[in-house]
């Protein structure tokens, strides 16, 4: 007899892994595992971007960085090719980890494979709606939660180029939400330059 999919159990297991992240961030005076914080941000933006998201998309959103801290960026060459190889490995690894949880929590093979495909961002260029939603949400979290720190580490030309690439990855709905994100004046100016060029 097939098992009924258990969304809450699957989500709890993903968060249990996130909570093991040794990298901490302080939010409202409370220390949180960074991946727990990241996943909460992802879920928050998913609610704004697609409130009626399927459970499978919600789990893909929740597990997008599953156990990411275990594969450090510096374990690959610090080159453009090294970066893309690292990212490709991460997507596959993260998808497999979350896929195993879905399988063990009663999800069908098509749902499990669908979730894994979303995490790997397969179908993005073909216009797969749920994959686009995930991409929008990841871009929104970058702009909201990571951009301010990121801009201090890179020169303006690189930042503007990355913002341009981020912008074109998003759908119109994602872009509209991005324009509503509260930002410092410095960040707003950089976004303005990216959109004007």
Q: Of 96, 120, 144, which residue constitutes the final position of a domain?
A: 120
Statement to judge: residues 88 and 181 lie in one domain: no
- pTM here? 0.91
The list of the chain residues with pLDDT below 50 reads: 1
Looking at residue 1, its pLDDT comes to 37
Same domain, 19 and 104: yes
Question: Residue 92 is part of which domain span?
Answer: 1-120
Q: What is the pLDDT of residue 2?
A: 52
* 68 and 26 belong to one structural domain: yes
Task: Based on the fold, state whether residues 48 and 94 are members of the same structural domain.
Answer: yes
Residue after which a domain boundary falls, among 95, 120, 145: 120
Where do we find the tokens 């100016």? 189
163 and 138 housed in the same domain: yes
In whole angstroms, what is the distance from residue 137 CA to residue 41 CA? 9
Domain match, 100 and 141 both? no
Beta bridge partners, 25, equal 32
Q: Is the dihedral of CA 130, 136, 139, 145 positive or negative?
A: negative
C-alpha 87/C-alpha 76 separation (Å) is 10
Same domain for 144 and 110? no
For the chain, what is the domain count? 2
CA separation for the pair 12, 76 (Å, rounded): 31
Verify that 71 and 150 share a domain, yes or no: no
Q: Are 118 and 134 in contact (CB under 8 A)?
A: yes
**What was the pLDDT predicted at 46?**
98
**What confidence score (pLDDT) does residue 159 get?**
87
Q: What is the pLDDT of residues 24-55, one digit of tens each?
A: 999 889 999 999 999 999 999 999 999 999 99
Q: Would you state the pLDDT for residue 3?
A: 62
| 9 plus 76 within the same structural domain | yes
């Amino acid at each position: 007899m097939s098992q009924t999919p258990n969304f809450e159990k699957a989500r709890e297991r993903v968060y249990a892994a996130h909570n093991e992240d040794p990298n901490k961030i302080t939010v409202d005076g409370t220390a949180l595992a960074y991946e727990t914080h990241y996943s909460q941000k992802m879920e928050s933006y998913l609610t704004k971007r697609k409130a009626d998201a399927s459970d499978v998309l919600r789990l893909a959103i929740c597990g997008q960085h599953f156990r990411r801290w275990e594969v450090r960026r510096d374990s690959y060459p610090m080159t453009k090719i090294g970066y893309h190889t690292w990212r490709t490995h991460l997507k596959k690894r993260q998808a497999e980890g979350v896929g195993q949880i879905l399988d063990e929590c009663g999800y069908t093979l098509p749902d499990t494979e669908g979730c894994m495909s979303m995490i790997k961002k397969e179908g993005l260029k073909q216009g797969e709606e749920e994959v686009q939603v995930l991409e929008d949400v990841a871009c929104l979290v970058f702009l909201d939660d990571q951009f301010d720190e990121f801009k201090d580490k890179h020169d303006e030309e690189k930042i503007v180029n990355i913002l341009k690439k981020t912008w074109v990855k998003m759908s119109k709905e994602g872009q509209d939400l991005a324009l509503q994100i509260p930002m410092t004046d410095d960040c707003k100016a950089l976004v303005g330059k990216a959109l004007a060029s």
